Amino acid sequence: MTRHRIDDLLAIMARLRDPERGCPWDVQQDFASIAPYTIEEAYEVADAIDRGDFDDLRDELGDLLLQVVFHARLAQEAGRFDFDDVVHAISEKMRRRHPHVFGDVRHADDAARRQAWEDIKHAERAGKGEPADPSALAGVSAGLPEWRRAMKLQQRAASVGFQWSDPTPILAKLAEEVDEVRAEFADAADPARLEDEIGDVLFVTVNLARHAGVDFSRALRHANAKFERRFRQMERLAAADGHVFGECSLPEQERLWRRAKALERE
């Protein structure tokens, strides 16, 4: 079996980016145009894990690695850094952030370890010359997917005691926010206010998932998969009855939805 090394992949990317002999599409790309693919590949890794498909996971990890190599190549061409610099930076960061593994530091418990982690990150930001920010929310990236940023903000707030002790008040808050959305619709729904109220519903839903120990992204992926599975089943049921699903009335489509759900329970 041929052993492939990271150098092989780096060479492939260099050839793809060659202005004379490379791929026209790859040559045209820049950081901004590649970024959406990087995000997409990360989600496809998560999807393969959810499905327990390890052959697919191998392939998706390769796709994600290619994104790292692509960005590093763009940076190298611009004279900023290269792939070796990326590896060096993350290696040093992992050693620096794990003194209890790579040094002689010992933490009394998980809470102390988490606090030490945050202290190290704070020192790193200070070392970069970032303005001092005493807030518990300091350092939560604005570039995260919004659901993830909501989770991070809530985790930081909880770390200083700002959280409910059980789900009951969170559920009450969720009901309150849904009522406010309902009221906006009743009042002819000003778009800006409606957006604000729906945002509140989503933020509280993330908080509920966090409190329950549920991965919000994974829960939503499962909900998407369930909807797709049931929708495709409705289309098949309609076809079996001699109908085109899109030509069915809404009451007929709802009956097909109930049939699809019932078949899942059988």
Mean pLDDT, rounded, for 31-41 = 93
Q: Which residue has the higher pLDDT, 225 or 2?
A: 225
pLDDT at 103: 87
- Quick one: which of 41, 39, 32, 42 has its CA closest to 74? 32
pLDDT at 2: 60
pLDDT at 19: 95
pLDDT at 105: 86
Surface-to-core class of residue 14, CB atoms within 10 Å of its CB (0-12 exposed, 13-18 middle, 19+ buried): middle
Ordered DSSP codes for 78-115: TTS--HHHHHHHHHHHHHHH-HHHHSS---SSHHHHHH
In this prediction, residue 128 has a pLDDT band, given cuts at 50, 70 and 90, of confident
Using a cut of 0.85, tell me whether the model's pTM lies above it: no
Hey, is 185 helix, strand or coil?
A: helix
Ordered DSSP codes for 128-182: TTPPP--STTTT--TTS-HHHHHHHHHHHHHHTT-S-SSHHHHHHHHHHHHHHHH
For residue 116, the 8-state DSSP code is: H
pLDDT at 127: 78
pLDDT at 3: 65
Residue 129 has pLDDT above 80, yes or no: no
Measured in whole angstroms, the distance separating CA 204 from the mean position of its chain's CA atoms is 18
Q: Which residue has the higher pLDDT, 248 or 114?
A: 248
Mean pLDDT of the chain: 91
Distance between CA atoms of 14 and 32, rounded to whole angstroms? 19
Share of the chain above pLDDT 70, in %: 98
